[in-house]
Amino acid sequence: MPTVEADPGPFSFAPESTALLVIDMQRDFLLPGGFGESLGNDVAQLRCTIEPLTALLAAGRAAGLKIIHTREGHLPDLSDCPPAKLRRGPMIGKEGRFGRILIRGEYGHDIIDELRPEAGEPVVDKPGKGAFYATDLSKILDNDGIKSLIVTGVTTEVCVHTTVREANDRGYECLVIKDCVGSYFPEFQRVGLRMIAAQGGIFGWVADSPAVIAALQE
Ligand code: C5J
């Protein structure tokens, strides 16, 4: 069984019951001139994940891992967006440089070209931060007998963390890949990763992508 050196200890996984989860690598968050940058964020903090994640995806596909992508966003009429979320995110649904912000079907809502999903890879549209809330993710994982998740994407302290916490409570073992998750805030990146592996791995494990790629190629 492949084993990866990780924090707080070795992480072993069976490829046939492991999924590689790619969370919200969307243009709205990652493109220069897009929604994320319009809020004053430095998108370079997220874009540095693209290259390692491209390599990890290639290794995961070659090893036969199930690949699942997610996108955060809402229906055009915003009927699935809680008013409480809209009050604190008034830009949602407004016209931005890449179409209506975080609205399904808009250019900005879709996944960046570099990480385009391949045919047959599920793309889970989620209205919340967690990938389990109001989605079919549990069903998709159950149907394939998935027990372990290799987690990547953005942002570390928001959608990645929420999803890992949801997954952990549902009994999945989560390995978060530190160079393949990104935050606009270096402090949140550092602390977010520490929180995953703290207390003996309270939410899961943390490793870097070269270690996972090496394990997948053994
Ligand atoms: C994600 C966000 N994907 N930061 N969303 O983390 O609002």
Q: Using one digit for the tens of pLDDT, what is the confidence trace for 128-157? A: 999 999 999 999 999 999 999 999 999 999
**For position 96, what pLDDT does the model report?**
96
- Cα–chain-centroid distance for residue 95? 25
| Mean of pLDDT values over 167-194 | 98
How far apart, in Å, are the Cα atoms of 17 and each of 64, 76, 145, 192? 10, 35, 6, 26
Ligand 1 in contact with 72 (CB < 6 A)?
yes
Marked catalytic residue, from 66, 81, 159, 178? 159
pTM check: above 0.95:
yes
For the chain, what is the largest distance between any 2 Cα atoms, rounded to a whole number of angstroms?
Answer: 50
Say how many Å lie between the CA of residue 217 and the centre of ligand 1: 31
Marked catalytic residue, from 66, 126, 129, 178? 126
The counts of H helices and E strands in the chain are 9, 10
Distance from C-alpha of 79 to C-alpha of 117, rounded to nearest angstrom: 27
Position 45 confidence tier, pLDDT thresholds 50, 70, 90: very high
In the chain, the amino acid numbered 109 is H
By most ligand atoms within 8 Å of CB, the mutation choice from 129, 164, 165 for ligand 1 is: 129
Strands 205-207 and 173-182, sheet pairing: parallel
- List CB contacts of 58: < 8 A, sequence separation 6 or more: none
Which atom of ligand 1 is the closest one to the Cα of 26?
A: 3
Position 14 confidence tier, pLDDT thresholds 50, 70, 90: very high
Residues present in the chain in total:
218
Run of H or E residues at 97 = none
Distance from C-alpha of 213 to C-alpha of 109, rounded to nearest angstrom: 29
